[in-house]
A and B are shown apart, each in its own frame.
Chain A
Amino acid sequence: MQEKNSSNKRNSFLFFITFLGIVLAFLFASLFSMVMLYYTGTILSKIVLTICIILLGTIVGILVQAFVKKEIVSRSYFPLCHDLLHEFTLCARCKGFYLGLALFTALVATRNSLFLDFLNVVGIFPYTVILVLLLLTVPIHGAARRLRLVDGTILLHVVGFLFSISLYQIAGLIVRLLYSA
């Protein structure tokens, strides 16, 4: 009985946090939209505004879906998953992804125009092809894994790592777009 009460308390606390998160997300979106509207003269601010609305809409949509499906449970460290911390220790693909983020952030911090130089060297078409291939690594690997064509942890690390490069390539493409406009 005591355990049930404790669980209910945690559930209401999580509901409160989730609700607050949704409200804050909406407030943040409104504020952000207003700020960005001020800057809509440039291409980047338009891109930022559009992606911001899509991003916030997706996050709020998933939170609502998770709440409707009762995925937000008392053991959760974050909405939607039952135990994010546990999943983090298991997910090899995430380790590769975060390692890639850290590595390329360090590289870009030392040389700001790294991916822009790469774009200038290889040209826009091969650069875009590489970007699309990198973006598709995760869905293709996921499909192959579901069909039991591939297996193994090292491949997960590699896929996560390769995918992290695509973020920097998109950034390079946007910077190139800005400078060419």
Chain B
Amino acid sequence: MDARLKSTIVGIYLVLLSAVSGGVGISVLQVKPFGFLDSVIVGVAFILGSIVCWGWACFARKELFE
């Protein structure tokens, strides 16, 4: 597996993880299963995690895996 392929796989993984964690965050904010404050903290943390993964997906360059 060369660096280019690795970077592509990591990029796709990060994008999908971004969608899933964002989805979990939004659902936690909607349902609020852990009480108001805990749910808001968990939901916001997941949405922030989603944004971090989304931002990092762009930087999964092949140089990082050489």
Report B-chain residues with C-beta under 8 Å of the C-beta of A163. 15, 19
Report A-chain residues with C-beta under 8 Å of the C-beta of B14. 58
Is A148's beta carbon under 8 Å from chain B? no
Question: Would A55 and B23 be within 8 Å (CB), given that A81-B59, A94-B54, A94-B55 are in contact?
Answer: no
CB-CB contacts of A95-112 with B at 8 A, as 1s and 0s? 001000000000010001
Tell me whether chain B's interface is mostly helix, strand or loop, or mixed: helix
Taking the closest CB of chain B, its distance from the CB of A66, in whole angstroms, is 7
Q: Are A55 and B49 in contact (CB under 8 A)?
A: yes
Q: Are B54 and A48 in contact (CB under 8 A)?
A: no
Q: Which residues 145-181 of A sit at the B interface, judged by CB distance below 8 A?
A: 163, 166-175, 178
Q: Are B23 and A169 in contact (CB under 8 A)?
A: yes
Q: Are B17 and A39 in contact (CB under 8 A)?
A: no
Question: Would A166 and B23 be within 8 Å (CB), given that A55-B49, A58-B17 are in contact?
Answer: yes
Is A54's beta carbon under 8 Å from chain B? yes
Is A65's beta carbon under 8 Å from chain B? yes
Report B-chain residues with C-beta under 8 Å of the C-beta of A142. 8, 11
Q: Which residues 1-60 of B sit at the A interface, judged by CB distance below 8 A?
A: 8, 11-28, 30-31, 33-34, 38, 42, 46, 49-50, 52-59
Closest to B52 in A: A59
Taking the closest CB of chain A, its distance from the CB of B23, in whole angstroms, is 3
The 7 closest A-B pairs by CB, nearest first: A170-B23, A167-B22, A171-B26, A174-B27, A171-B27, A171-B23, A81-B59
Could you tell me which A residues sit within 8 Å of B by CB distance? 32, 35, 39, 42, 44-45, 47-48, 51-52, 54-55, 58-59, 62, 65-66, 69, 71, 78, 80-81, 84, 87, 91, 93-94, 97, 108, 112, 135, 138-139, 142, 163, 166-175, 178
A/B interface sample: 15 pairs, CB < 8 A? A51-B21, A54-B17, A58-B13, A59-B49, A65-B64, A66-B64, A71-B64, A80-B59, A81-B59, A84-B55, A167-B50, A168-B23, A170-B22, A171-B22, A171-B26
